[in-house]
Amino acid sequence: MKSKRIEFKGAKDVALVGQLDLPDDGSSKGIILFAHCFTCSRNLKSIHAIAKSLTENGWGVFRFDFTGIGDSSGDFSETTLRTNVDDLRAAADWLEQNHESPTVLMGHSMGGSAVLLAAPDMQSCKAVITLATPASPKFLLEAYANQMDELEKTGFIETTIAGRTFKLNRDFFDELENQARQQDVKNLQRPLLIIHSEKDRLVPIQHAEQLLHLADYPKSLLTFKNQDHLFSDMDLAAQLGHILADWVELFVERTR
């Protein structure tokens, strides 16, 4: 695949860094805009494997680092789910102005939550894909329930993920408390593919079942038996990219 580093302005007017992956000949059937997981980056190995398989099937992938993550500028402690949604829209705007508008939105874990929030207002989006996504953003409230006293005292919570320490402020948790995921999924009005692993210990498979129940048709659920939350099995991640390409072909109107 051919890859190009991209810089653009995000929600907080800071420089975000992305990567546009295209088939070897530089053309594509359409662009899949990808949102990475909470505190991950665009360079997660499994996402690279998925993107490579998608480009082999003729699709382009635009993946970028949210504010304060990876190569992007900004302070992560000032971000919320809503700023992630705004970063997604900024990425879509860049694509529209410099390449072509995204055809599909795809998000991993909390990136999937951002995608579900952004998709209804993004007219170019014809289908949505979530990977290991919680049924509600409020899932993180439960994950950090035993640190709420720390939040009350200091105004933020420190969390260490994969050896890196991040700060989450009060605005982050207040916004999660106010999210109404059921309405968001119900109003998606686009084909939805939900991907999850039975062995996901961070976001259990029941979240996928809840999302499937809440969504209107057309909707699909694809489960894996031996993947973890990060889809670390590279061979299966590569196979997943080919499966995604077939699914997108089924539900996205071809314009070329």
Tokens representing 152 are: 């009350």
CATH code at position 41: 3.40.50.1820
pLDDT at 253: 63
Q: Is residue 59 part of a domain?
A: yes
Given the DSSP bridges, would you call strands 164-169 and 192-197 parallel, antiparallel or unpaired? unpaired
pLDDT at 182: 52
Q: Is residue 164 part of a domain?
A: no
pTM: 0.90
Q: Is residue 20 part of a domain?
A: yes
Q: Is residue 233 part of a domain?
A: yes
Number of domains in the chain: 1
Q: Is residue 256 part of a domain?
A: no
Query: CA angle at residue 117 from 181 to 161, to 5 degrees?
Result: 85
Q: Is residue 163 part of a domain?
A: no
Helix, strand or coil, per DSSP, at residue 224: strand
The residue range of the domain holding 25 is 2-136+180-251
Over its C-alpha atoms, the chain yields an Rg (Å, rounded) of: 17
Element of type H or E holding 17: strand 15-22
Please confirm whether the linkage preceding 102 is cis (ω < 30° from 0): no
pLDDT at 164: 66
256 residues of the chain, pLDDT tens digit each: 899 999 999 877 899 999 999 999 988 999 999 999 877 888 889 999 999 999 999 999 999 999 988 899 888 878 888 899 999 999 999 999 999 999 999 999 989 999 999 999 999 999 999 999 998 877 777 777 777 888 788 888 877 665 567 778 778 777 777 665 555 687 789 999 999 999 998 899 999 999 999 999 999 999 998 889 988 899 999 999 999 999 999 988 643 3
187 alpha carbon, distance to own chain's centre: 18
Q: Is residue 162 part of a domain?
A: no
Q: Is residue 206 part of a domain?
A: yes
Q: Are 10 and 33 in contact (CB under 8 A)?
A: no
pLDDT at 255: 37
State how far the Cα of 222 lies from the Cα of 172, in Å rounded to an integer. 30
For residue 243, give the nearest of 49, 112, 62 by alpha carbon: 49
For residue 125, give the nearest of 252, 17, 241 by alpha carbon: 252
